[in-house]
Structure 1
């Protein structure tokens, strides 16, 4: 664990911040790390004078200004350590945590994001208050709480509800039902700071809903707009509720002022000057990043959004007019967004994209006809989630959009402009046998590249522009006014250019081997293809070629060669392109997509298991049926064998029975009668002797 204490002046102030890897605390820590202790005590105008004065004495040695040294707790050590954090602690016992707090000059606890931090903050301020006599110097405790502790406060003037609340009304504030613990902690912090304020001062900063630097609570709407997957961004309810907000860096600046000024007021409200409604905010976001359209839905639908916690939902539905008068009158704040998110939406949107690394990728793939540009572009688009821009499809799409605009009845100006441009395009196409002049093609393609999806995620230009002049008109826009267009043209110039090439023999053989069903209705008929290939080769041997245009802009095209129709070669080309372009600069695989894929795989697995069980059951039934059938047949065969054995025994025993009846039984009967008459001592011996003497055969 790195310690930056040695890098800082000895008189730097040590600041503890909880959950320093979370949105609010991380941005406060980053801000304070860049500040000089006491900087907010100097008026910006005076600071400029001092700087000018310093230039007159630049030969004199300067003392290094005292700075803030940031330490804090983190939820886990798995995340990469921030460079502006001197020390990070995790899984600390209370006694160990108290030791770290005792070594700090300022303790900041944020409870706006996670309510589970309320108990720890309550323990921390109470434990520090008990240890006041052991302090080596004065300490300050700052609680960053939520404006939701004012959520159901009655208006300042019941006759005029539009008059905003102020800090002076904080004693009669009433919290939202889900924020009762927050207001309880606020009261405790204020109370403990009154005991011995010179030794232990305490402050509560009630923060509005925070925005900026990648977003937190408004992230849902920024993400929806940036992705552009829905045509209308939802507004929950009628959207008329006023939401108090503050830029996260302005909140950090307010905390810096609290540390430097040690104000008399222990309770401060941190909000900007805006009185924007939910509708105002969401419309501004979607106009800056998305389709520019919103849709009012019922309030209940907000509970279906999985990305929002109950705290987020309560905060977004708040309706509160409140002003931050104290900090306006007493602090020196270098405001980032004093007028609010709506007025500064362009800057906020740029912050959002930069902080989250949502940077567009602009790629142009060039090459002769039939080389496989579209196949490669489609796969690259899928990998990077870019928009595939092809000339023919873009023209068709533009005509369809113009047709739909013509039939719209809500905006007459747009309707008339669309009708005029549509008529111009159709007339030009009729005059050129279905083709468009370059001036209209350039306009259509430029408008396509300027659309929000292409500006947000990026695009792949597939086989366009075709000539040096087209590229110059498309990307330079010399016919357009310089004030606005120069900014836009830079945003549509490709960052990467790939030239996919192959020999003419290879290309001719590929086209000749295409099936008739593929060739029909395309430019791949032998005559048309050979003419297009010849034109392409001619254009690329002139002095001002398309590749030369990109070279002049210091965008050096990457040359790649196709030598076979094997799919593995395409994979190799795509791998080289991905290596050159680098990692995707977007959201990557969205959680919903991952869950959908997992759900699909789970369903597929369940189906397979069900099919296997059904197949096994059917197989068992068939086997049981076959066993029953075989058992029946065996029983029948056994009965037949028994019958045959019985018949055989019957037939074989008949002569013996006849012999016994004819020759033996008469003599045996007479012997038994004689034995009964005489009654010899040994009847058996007598009977045997009798039979022997009277045997007919003997």
Structure 2
């Protein structure tokens, strides 16, 4: 047992927190900075557990720390050990959170050991708080084998057994606790806060399930889902840390969990019912290890109770009874923290102005759901027909059929169908583009103001009103393809009737735009939109009005498909470039061969001409030689061959001199 001696606090308390840019540490730092400046009153002390309260009404807190990503700050994100120790020595409270990053276990042990060895150089008292994980209890034996529902409490922390993957964590816990026992608490006190799985404020460990439900997919439950998962809202964990700083209780090991003790199936099912389609899908527990967003912690089964926190501290819990009981609050935090707010937009205008084309482009850019009267009614009837065996659906389908008339559904039933569509999870999560509805102020009031239910979560935020002259519309209808004419009911007689009905509604005082003006929604009006040719000017105005998309962006599968598409385009482009190069080289080769053939032909012609010229020039000389020289020379050569003299040249010369026919 340690004494309850209080630690004198300075006016400004410097708090160090590792990885302040991570999910848990960021929110702990924020709550510490905001909440710890006010005094937290301690509950009446009971049993043998005592806590000394420190009056800190005038205390201010300065939070400093390291970060895990270089982009979080301008300076280098990792300090060397000597520089980090000097920073720690300048702080009054050092908090190390190892629940999210296992690589911080070694650094936390070094930090606690370094501070412990420097106690004699402290300028004032210091506190070291280790935020650990309940996974150091994962393999603990039941507190009472005969009562398996008896929860583990921090009073029996000495009997805990860690999960094999968290042996380093439990060793760190033990060494931190031991350090606090070996020195005076007035100089250096240590605490271990074993936190349940954290949720809230955008999510971290449960984010996988929230995202699945938000995207409209079934919630995956790994194994039988009967494992009890200890949890705590991140804000409540931060409040526990603040209370430890302020009250410095005698117990040095505290469990930080809420009172829920929900099973994993209950948690996933609740998330799916509020945020998604409400369905879960059982999967083998082994599949959890194949998903990088999941950890061993989600398969733990521990029934726990934070006994000391309830006895020692009194703070305003955000979610004392857990995630399941406070799912609406947690879902709202999730949407706000991650910016996943729905975009709800109405596109109105006369027939054939291009509402469908513009609506599809907006849906594609913002990844919204395109809602039309025709599509919604058709889907509703198809859904009811496919489930005729259900008596409630038979009754609803009969009501639809009874209320159908040549012009469509009766207005009250149409409003109910459209309201139900806007209340679906896809429309509530991502948002919608509602095309060509409502058409009157009364319809808008009934649709968005509702009756008994609160429809503020689905009421439109933005209105785009397309405008065009009658001449523009007529010209556009005349130039539409026949398939589009039939699809959009734009035959000349039908179009004229629809346009006249629209103009009649617009001439009334109680037009639909008046409803939006009354609710401070200023419609964006755009005239003569040429959506088929160029939608960029209109889309730019829509983006200026609505802002950037509020979603996750493309999924990993879509990113891979886009990469494959780009790779395919690149390969096709490279193949086309190679084909063009090959074609160019082939053309050049053919041209070169043609030039060579032409040059060769001309060269041959020149050679033949030269030969002919030479032949013509040499013919008189050959005649002369044959007549005057060759006969005598041939005789001389014959004589030389017969005589075979030693000097044939001299013999031939003498023969020619003696037998020269011109000297006879």
What TM-score, normalized to structure 1? 0.82
Superimposed CA distance per residue, residues 602-660 of structure 1 (whole angstroms, 9 cap, x where no aligned partner):
342134334544665687789889999999999999999999999999x9999989999
* Aligned residue number for residue 464 of structure 1: 437
Deviates more, 1:458-467 or 1:667-676: 667-676
1:658 and 1:203 map into 2 onto residues whose CA distance is: 136
2:648 and 2:469 map into 1 onto residues whose CA distance is: 125
* Aligned residue number for residue 131 of structure 1: 118
Which SS does the other structure have where 2:403 is aligned?
helix
2:560 and 2:473 map into 1 onto residues whose CA distance is: 43
Query: Could you tell me how far 1:586 is from its partner in structure 2?
Result: 2.5
1:190 and 1:419 map into 2 onto residues whose CA distance is: 67
Query: Contact between 1:72 and 1:89, CA under 8 Å: does it hold in 2?
Result: no
* Aligned residue number for residue 503 of structure 1: 469
* Aligned residue number for residue 316 of structure 2: 334
Q: Which runs of 5+ in 1 are unaligned?
A: 1-8, 45-62, 82-87, 408-414
Matches within 5 A, 1:458-607: 458-477=431-450, 480-481=451-452, 485=453, 487=454, 489-520=455-486, 522-562=488-528, 567-568=533-534, 570-590=535-555, 593-607=558-572
CA 600–519 in structure 1, closer or farther in 2 if over 3 Å, else same: closer
* Aligned residue number for residue 410 of structure 1: none
1:672 and 1:77 map into 2 onto residues whose CA distance is: 109
2:223 and 2:136 map into 1 onto residues whose CA distance is: 22
Matches within 5 A, 1:634-645: none
Query: Could you tell me how far 1:590 is from its partner in structure 2?
Result: 4.6
CA 621–567 in structure 1, closer or farther in 2 if over 3 Å, else same: closer
1:208 and 1:448 map into 2 onto residues whose CA distance is: 38
Greater relative CO (CA pairs within 8 A, separation 6+): 2
1:223 and 1:436 map into 2 onto residues whose CA distance is: 37
Q: CA RMSD for the aligned pairs?
A: 3.6
Pick one of 291, 302, 306 that aligns with 1:324.
Answer: 306
2:123 and 2:291 map into 1 onto residues whose CA distance is: 49
Matches within 5 A, 1:19-418: 19-36=19-36, 39-43=39-43, 65-76=58-69, 78-79=71-72, 90-196=77-183, 197-228=185-216, 230=217, 232-306=218-292, 308=293, 312-406=294-388, 415-418=390-393
Superimposed CA distance per residue, residues 35-58 of structure 1 (whole angstroms, 9 cap, x where no aligned partner):
2457333459xxxxxxxxxxxxxx
CA 160–630 in structure 1, closer or farther in 2 if over 3 Å, else same: farther
1:257 and 1:103 map into 2 onto residues whose CA distance is: 22
Query: Contact between 1:246 and 1:271, CA under 8 Å: does it hold in 2?
Result: yes
Q: Which runs of 5+ in 2 are unaligned?
A: 1-8, 45-55
* Aligned residue number for residue 419 of structure 1: 394
CA 697–551 in structure 1, closer or farther in 2 if over 3 Å, else same: same
* Aligned residue number for residue 609 of structure 1: 574
CA 646–179 in structure 1, closer or farther in 2 if over 3 Å, else same: farther
Query: Contact between 2:232 and 2:256, CA under 8 Å: does it hold in 1?
Result: yes
Superimposed CA distance per residue, residues 8-40 of structure 1 (whole angstroms, 9 cap, x where no aligned partner):
x97132211111111101111111112245733
Superimposed CA distance per residue, residues 652-695 of structure 1 (whole angstroms, 9 cap, x where no aligned partner):
9999899999754443232344464xx6xx65323311233235
Query: Contact between 2:135 and 2:163, CA under 8 Å: does it hold in 1?
Result: yes
Aligned length: 638
CA 337–660 in structure 1, closer or farther in 2 if over 3 Å, else same: farther
Query: Contact between 1:291 and 1:452, CA under 8 Å: does it hold in 2?
Result: yes
Query: Could you tell me how far 1:185 is from its partner in structure 2?
Result: 1.4
Mapped pair 1:437 → 2:425: no
CA 125–370 in structure 1, closer or farther in 2 if over 3 Å, else same: same
1:11 and 1:584 map into 2 onto residues whose CA distance is: 45
Query: Contact between 1:671 and 1:691, CA under 8 Å: does it hold in 2?
Result: no
Query: Contact between 1:284 and 1:345, CA under 8 Å: does it hold in 2?
Result: yes
* Aligned residue number for residue 668 of structure 1: 637
Which SS does the other structure have where 1:388 is aligned?
strand
2:586 and 2:473 map into 1 onto residues whose CA distance is: 59
2:235 and 2:354 map into 1 onto residues whose CA distance is: 49
Which SS does the other structure have where 2:65 is aligned?
strand
1:624 and 1:476 map into 2 onto residues whose CA distance is: 77
